[in-house]
């Protein structure tokens, strides 16, 4: 924490733009997954914000859609959290454009601002370890490195990107040797055995001006329009609504693709956080399952059933002789899903979007 005082307070910026379509029907447009208590009694976004409830940080800033701002505000009031502001996206443009907007906004708050970009839908079982990882990152970021957090892999995952660490930058921090897309199983097993690869968490810490300079150098199709969208934003109270016309011109790209894979300033801090990306029912089942692989909620009867997540908001659900399923009953909709196809729930959501006025979105 002494290091933190030397580099100044960090501006936490929470990305809350996701629709959570892989968690339909639990996650809907009116209440996407980050607003729901999926793991604990608090919502995902409440869990996220509570990691910043100490004097290392400025008040949190949220990047979200306009329809979610009142919901986030209510949830922050429940925790007595003071909000640093809302940056409203007219539409989703992945994470690179929001990172540019976040950096510009942080410079309003502090001349030498450090920005911590975090998704609103990650579960971290060890918040103290997260705080220590940020403290290790901060001095390196202050000296001009774009830092990311590498999660020590627990198994040969094929659903995450990987980061290979290179030479040492400072104690606990390394140069990024390379970023790797989601690998096939045999490659993931080699990465696990090598000890040099980490899961890419999608959490970033950077000096605001450094990010802006590197983004302008490597992804001007993101940085130019995003900057114009922020500079022409409509301000109302603590809400900055980005200019839709300029924002529409932003290339849609993740931070990794837009800048991290190109810059020579990328760094990584390996850490063990008890980190879970709650992006699918498979991820939820793995996190919450008992010894039989069952994660259950609601009125349920079972026989000869294992390795399932079953949730119902009322109707009795009975399962006999099944395994590796998600059975979700929520607000009049029923999903039956092979957990190996967890990424494909969004195909059902896409079909529903074609039905004008459907009540199930």
Could you tell me the mean pLDDT of each successive run of 10 residues in the chain, 361 residues long? 59 90 91 92 96 92 95 96 96 94 93 93 93 92 94 87 92 91 89 91 95 97 97 96 97 93 94 90 92 96 97 96 97 95 92 85 88
> What is the pTM (predicted TM-score) of this model?
0.92
CB atoms within 10 A of CB 5: 10
Q: What is the pLDDT of residue 315?
A: 96
Q: What is the pLDDT of residue 279?
A: 85
Ramachandran quadrant class, 244 (left: phi over 0; alpha: psi -120 to 50; beta: rest):
alpha
Q: What is the pLDDT of residue 343?
A: 86
* Strand partners of residue 165: 176
Q: Do 27 and 34 meet the contact criterion of CB atoms below 8 Å apart?
A: no
| CA-wise closest residue to 71 among 139, 135, 120 | 120
Q: What is the pLDDT of residue 217?
A: 97
Q: What is the pLDDT of residue 6?
A: 56
């Amino acid at each position: 924490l002494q290091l933190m005082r030397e580099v100044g307070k960090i501006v936490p910026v929470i990305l809350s733009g996701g629709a959570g379509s892989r968690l339909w029907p639990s996650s809907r447009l009116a209440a996407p997954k980050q607003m729901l208590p999926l793991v604990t009694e608090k919502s995902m976004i409440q869990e996220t914000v509570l990691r910043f409830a100490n004097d290392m940080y400025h008040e949190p800033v949220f990047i979200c859609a306009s329809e979610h701002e009142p919901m986030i505000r209510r949830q922050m009031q429940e925790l007595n959290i003071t909000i640093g502001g809302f940056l409203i996206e007219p539409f989703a443009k992945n994470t690179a454009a929001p990172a540019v907007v976040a950096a510009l906004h942080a410079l309003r708050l502090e001349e030498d601002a450090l920005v911590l970009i975090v998704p609103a839908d990650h579960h971290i079982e060890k918040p103290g370890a997260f705080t220590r990882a940020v403290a290790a990152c901060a001095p390196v970021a202050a000296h001009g490195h774009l830092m990311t957090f590498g999660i020590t892999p627990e198994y040969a995952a094929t659903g995450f990107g990987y980061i290979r660490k290179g030479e040492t930058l400072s104690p606990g921090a390394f140069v990024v040797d390379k970023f790797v897309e989601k690998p096939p199983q045999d490659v993931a097993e080699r990465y696990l055995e090598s000890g040099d690869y980490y899961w890419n968490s999608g959490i970033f810490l950077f000096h605001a001006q450094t990010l802006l300079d590197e983004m302008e150098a490597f992804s001007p199709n993101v940085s130019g329009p995003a900057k114009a969208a922020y500079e022409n934003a409509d301000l109302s109270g603590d809400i900055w609504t980005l200019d839709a016309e300029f924002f529409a011109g932003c290339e849609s790209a993740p931070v990794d693709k837009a800048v991290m894979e190109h810059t020579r300033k990328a760094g990584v801090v390996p850490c063990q956080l008890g980190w879970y990306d709650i992006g699918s029912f498979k991820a939820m089942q793995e996190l919450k399952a008992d010894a039989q692989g069952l994660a259950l909620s609601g009125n349920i009867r079972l026989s000869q059933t294992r390795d399932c997540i079953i949730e119902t908001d009322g109707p009795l659900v009975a399962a006999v002789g099944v395994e590796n399923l998600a059975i979700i009953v929520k607000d009049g909709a029923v999903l039956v899903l092979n957990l190996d196809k967890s990424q494909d729930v969004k195909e059902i959501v896409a079909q529903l979007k074609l039905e004008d006025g459907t009540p199930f979105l």
